[in-house]
Each structure stands twice: as C-alpha cells, then as structure tokens.
Chains A and B, each alone.
Chain A
Amino acid sequence: MKKTTKLTVACAIIFADFPLLYHGTVISRDPAVAVATLVVLAMGVGLALAS
C-alpha cells in the first residue's frame, strides 16, 4: 500500500472510531466497549506508524 493511501485509511479509522470511543468511555462507560474501541484506535494509529 502507498504511504498516502495508508495515511488516508489511518485517518479514516481514527476519526470513524471517535464516536464509538466516546460511547464506550462516556455514554455506556463500559470498560469492555472502551477497550474494544481503543484496540480499533490502536490499529489506526499503528497504520500511521507503518506508513
């Protein structure tokens, strides 16, 4: 995958995960949901790291 594509996908994952992250940590306050969405966030950030 090209660097630009990786960054675009990383950007999409990070910001698409935001509502889920917010739901898990603030609305449902469910640690399991928070951790799951944190893992998705880490995947997005990881993709940026791999770019």
Chain B
Amino acid sequence: MGTMELTLGRWLLTFLPIAVLLVTIVGLKWGAPKAGAAAWFVALAVAIIGFGGDAFLVALASAKGLSLSIFVLSIIWSSVFLYNVAEQLGAPRVIGETLARLVADPLLQALVIAWCFSSFLQGITGFGVPVAVAAPLLIIVGVPPVQAAVMTLIGHSWAVTFGSVGSSYYTLQLVTRLAPEQLAPWMAFSFALPIITCGFGVAHVQGGVPAMRRAALPVLLAGSVMAVLMWLFAYLGAPQIASTLPSLVGCLVLWLVGRSAPAVRRVEPPIAGGSMDGPLAGKLGFNAAFLPYYALIGLTVAGQVPAVKAALGNVAWGLDYPAYQTSLGYQVLAENLYAKISLLSHPAPIIVAAALLSFAYYRLAGFWRPGVGRAAARLTVKQCVPTSVGIAATVMMALIMNDAGMTTLLAHGIANATGPLFPLLSPFIGVLGCFMTGSNTTSNVMFGALQYETARGLGVSTVLISAAQSVGGSLGSIVAPAKVLIGAVVVGLTGREGEVMGRAIPYCLVLVLLVGIQTWLFVYVLFRELT
C-alpha cells in the first residue's frame, strides 16, 4: 500500500475535505448536494497538491465513485418509486391505521406506530418517509406533536442500516470489502441492544420512567424477537429485509401482548379521529395495500432458493478498474466487477419486479387509476435528484480520499490519538456522518473505510468497528437535521424544529454511548479473537 509520514500538518490537510463538509452543512446550513460538491473540489485539490495524485487519479477515483453511486442510487430510486406508487393509492395510511387499531393501550400504540411501523417503513423506503408517515398517525391517536416527532425519530433509528432495502449495509460492505457472510450477522448482532433501547426510548418519551417500567415486558419480548429475526435474515443472506420483516413481527408481538397481558392494557378510545386520505383508501384492504411488500418479501425469499440461485446467481453487472500508484508510492489495487449489481442479491431488480407484479394486480383488481404512475414518477424525481447529486459528490470525494491514501493516513492519526478508547468513540463518528448528511449510507461512504483502517491500525476487529460505524450512523438519524425538519413539519411544528431537536439529542447521546460501551466490550473483552 505504500507509507506516508504522519505529521500534524499532513493529517490536518487530509481532514480538510471533511472539515469543509462539516462547516458547510452544520455552520453554513448548505444542503448535501452543495456541500458535497465543495468537498469534492477540496478533496481533488488536496489529492493533487499534497498526496502525489494527478488528474488521471482523480478521474479514475471519481469514475469508481460514480459506479458506487449507481449501486446505491438504483436502490434509492426504485424503492422511493415503489413507495410513491403505494402512497398514491393510499396504501401506507391503510397499513398504519390497521396497525394502530391492533392495540388499545396508548403506550402500546406508541410502540406499534413509532417503534415498529415506522421501522417497517424505514425497511422499505427511508429518506424521511417513516417520520413523515408515522408521526401524523401518532397525532391521530392523541400523542402531542413534539412527542410524536421525537418518538418516531427514536423509534425508527434502529432500522436504518438494513432499511431502504439494505442500502446503508450494502454501501458499508462495499467500502470496507468485508465478506457479507461475516459483516451482516455481526452487524445484526450489534443492533440487538439498540433495538431494545430504542423501544425503551419511545416509552420514556411517552410517559417517563413509569412508562419504561410498564413497557419492560412488551419491549423486551418484541425487541428480542426482532433482534433474533434481524440476525437470522442477515445470516441467511437476506439483509434487504432484515429491518422490514422483524418490524412487522414486532407489531404482531405487541398485538399479542396487548391482548394477553392485562398489566399493560388499559381501555382507551382506539383512534381519536383521522381518515384515510388516499383516493382509493376506502376500497383498499390491508392485504391489497400491503401487496407491493408481500411481493418484495416473496421475491427476496425466492431468490434464496438454491435452484433459482444456481440459474440466475451469476447474472450481474459491474465494471473493472485498473491498479494505480500515486507519485508518493500509495498503491491502489485493481478491481474486478466493482460495485457489482447482481440480479438476485441486489435490491433494485427485486424492487422493480415487485413494482411490476403490484401494478399488474392493481390494474386487474381495478385499484389502478390513470396518472398514478406519472404522479409517482414525478414525485420520485423531485425527491431523488438532490439526493443523487449529494450522494454522487460525497461518494466521489470519499473515493478520491481513499485512492490517494488520505483515508489511511487520517485513520492512523485517529488510532494514534485515541488508542484503546477508539471502539468507544467509533459509533459517534457514524453519528457525525449522519448528522452532517442526513444519511446513514453517506455516513458509511465517508467514514466506513476510515473506521476499517483505524481498526486495522489498532489491531482490533475490523468487522465489529465497521458494524459500530453503521450502528452509530443509524442512530444518528434521531438528530439528523434533515429528518428532524421533516418530523417538525409533519406534526405542525414548523419554526419549532429546535424544540424537537432539543428533546431528541439526549436520547441519541445515551443510546450511542451504550453502543460505544458495547463495542468496547465486544472488541476488548468478549470477541477479542474476531478479526
């Protein structure tokens, strides 16, 4: 790989593109596309001036960045389009109201909507949709606006990494090059604690410590089931549904608890008001509303059948990239089928197939109406263009830093400065990335390789540290300004975002600190032998 002398000046130079991102997003309140663009230019200049790169290296790294962006953005565009089609037909509202009617206890309603249903939405879409859909449902069942926004922000945060049909997880796996069969199960294992603590967080917002005590049985029961299922799907090679299905089963467990445990059941009016607002919501039953997601789950499971795998497992698209060396001697290895999109294991083809199946059903059943596809496409373009530019610019910046040897140097500096405390701080780096960009995926692009390299430098488990990065990035969604803004707007608190943020920050800090302690214990005490 080549070595470069680590000096404070060189380390600060390396940090410059990230500092630009931080200052422009947090200080100047720029959006991700603009801030990412500024950081790309700075990374380009630093790579050429300080790290022996040239225009060819920058072009090559940017091309790799665009390869990786296409990998991630194909998931984002297809899942957002699928959701928008469902939304045009009123499906999310039907699903949410059905789930809210499952239980009568306000505490269980809060858990069903904010902890499980919002996580289900995160599993299939993301990008603020869980907050936008679940927070108004909480208001319908009588939760005050600030609590509704904070509960949803906390409740869905455990589902972000494997959410958006796995985009953050896949991105981390690509940038760290860890084996999927190793990374996915350990990642899911690391999420067991946050799954449960997010449930307790929602309960605390609902009614303080007494509510936490009352919620102990449902949260521990549903949380354990969701944690085991998340691990199982990750282990079985289906990370794209490792948030979606567990959160649905979580709803079911909470429903069973609500029916069978009088200690947590209180008779309250089930739903105070509200109505289904989709054009066909009155006609659409739960199963029809849920059809796109039945199809998504069914196709994902079908893709794991050995005969299907044998027939279609090798159908994939990816690009080869040559090896390269900077004038300072940093070597970049050649890549074969970089950012490979496989027909069976990449979520985008599966989502497209699910959308086509759903379209066929809705047409035949008479639920479809002219203009739905066009309206959904228009909305998808509006939502996804800024995200695409932001992700492309940030990913290209991250790849320039990687290929010029900047990330390695940055990581060595952090490892030297923090030493054995690094595992404790590792998830906070993930939070920082998500806070800056509003995206666990972008956080993983920015810091995934850095965390991996730092772990290598310290001689500790790269798998556990990489997992901690993404767990931190996932929980960072609680305080990411982009999501807080959505939460505040949908509950009618425009201009009072600070109130929501102020309530959410302490929960985020506590949850991430617990993950930091867990990571330190995993790395130095419980799983010392893990590489």
A residues with a Cβ closer than 8 A to B are 4, 7-8, 10-11, 14-15, 18, 21-22, 24-26, 29, 31, 34-35, 37-38, 41-42, 45-46, 48-49, 51
Contact = CB atoms under 8 A, between A and B. Distances in A.
A32 to B, nearest CB: 10
A4 B66 CA distance: 21
A49 B389 CA distance: 10
B35 to A, nearest CB: 9
Given A25-B59, A29-B322, 11 more contacts: A10-B389, A11-B385, A14-B66, A14-B393, A18-B63, A21-B63, A24-B59, A34-B59, A35-B56, A38-B59, A42-B41
B66 A34 contact: no
A11 B388 CA distance: 7
A18 B71 CA distance: 13
Interface in B348-392: 381-382, 385-386, 388-389, 392
Contacts, number: 82
Contacts of B55: 31, 34-35, 38
B389 A38 contact: no
Interface residues on B, range: 20 to 34
28 contacts: A10-B33, A15-B66, A15-B70, A15-B388, A18-B70, A21-B59, A22-B63, A24-B59, A25-B59, A25-B60, A26-B60, A26-B63, A29-B322, A31-B55, A34-B59, A34-B60, A35-B59, A38-B55, A45-B40, A45-B396, A46-B37, A46-B41, A48-B36, A48-B37, A49-B37, A49-B41, A51-B31, A51-B33
A8 B59 CA distance: 22
Given A14-B66, A26-B320, A48 B389 contact: yes
A15 B59 contact: no
B385 A8 contact: yes
Contacts of A11: 385, 388-389, 392
A21 B321 contact: no
